[in-house]
């Protein structure tokens, strides 16, 4: 082997030794640093991916909570709206019912006022009719009227007597009775000799009023006019009630 080849081989060996020494002293720490950095980057990437996944999960959870809140708010708004509509309908129904009650009350008050006016008018008209009848019969006062009223009293007494005894008897008249008239009344009452008392009442104007155990017989001008008044009042009220 020549000297040049020996030198080349020696230099090559030195180079390889130097390269190995440099690789052990320099490249190995650099490579380890690179590996560490790569590991850090991969860890950071994994952490970033986990953070992204966590952010996605939190975002989805937040969206779900918002949707739940929106659903609850919609349900609450619908419930409040239904309650408000129910309260509104209830208020309207209560107001309508109150209006109906008030209308009925006013109608009843108006009807009562009309009835009171009718009764007052009927009483006024009946009272006027009573006065007319009284004045007319008073103007006709005489033996004929007295006879007619006495006959009417006797007929009513005979009708009462059919139900039983009439004693005791009280006879009222505007003027003292003639013995014949008194005897006729007592005979009609079925007590020709029984006890009977007499009283005078000028307000009767004419005729007889007889009190018996079975009831009253009123055949007087005052009684006839009062009867006319009562009859007219009842007729007017009946006519008015028929038109309501």
Above 60 in pLDDT, residue 243?
no
Cα–Cα distance list, 66 to 15, 63, 74, 81 (Å): 71, 5, 12, 22
Distance CA 201, CA 110 (A): 43
pTM for the whole structure: 0.45
Looking at residues 127-143, what average pLDDT do you find?
A: 63
Q: What is the pLDDT of residue 58?
A: 85
**What digits encode the pLDDT tens for the residues 36-65?**
777 788 877 888 788 788 888 888 888 888
Q: What is the mean pLDDT of the chain?
A: 77
Query: How many whole angstroms from its chain centre is CA 49?
Result: 72
Looking at residues 204-223, what average pLDDT do you find?
A: 84
């Amino acid at each position: 082997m020549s000297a040049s080849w020996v030198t080349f081989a020696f230099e090559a060996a030195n180079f390889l030794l130097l390269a190995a020494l440099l690789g052990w002293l320099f490249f190995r720490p650099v490579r380890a640093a690179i590996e560490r950095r790569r590991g850090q980057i991969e860890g950071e990437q994994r952490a970033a991916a986990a953070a992204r996944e966590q952010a996605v999960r939190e975002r989805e959870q937040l969206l779900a909570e918002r949707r739940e809140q929106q659903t609850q708010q919609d349900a609450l708004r619908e419930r409040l709206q239904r309650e408000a509509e129910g309260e509104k309908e209830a208020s309207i129904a209560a107001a309508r019912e109150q209006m109906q009650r008030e209308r009925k009350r006013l109608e009843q008050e108006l009807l009562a006022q009309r009835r009171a006016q009718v009764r007052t008018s009927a009483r006024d008209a009946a009272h006027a009719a009573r006065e007319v009848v009284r004045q007319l019969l008073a103007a006709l006062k005489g033996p004929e009227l007295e006879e007619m009223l006495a006959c009417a009293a006797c007929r009513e007494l005979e009708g009462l007597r059919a139900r039983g005894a009439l004693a005791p008897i009280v006879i009222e008249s505007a003027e003292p009775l003639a013995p014949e008239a008194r005897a006729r009344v007592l005979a009609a009452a079925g007590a020709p000799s029984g006890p009977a008392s007499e009283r005078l009442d000028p307000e009767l104007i004419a005729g007889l009023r007889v009190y018996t155990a079975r009831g009253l017989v009123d055949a007087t001008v005052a009684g006839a006019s009062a009867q006319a008044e009562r009859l007219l009042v009842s007729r007017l009220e009946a006519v008015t009630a028929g038109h309501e």
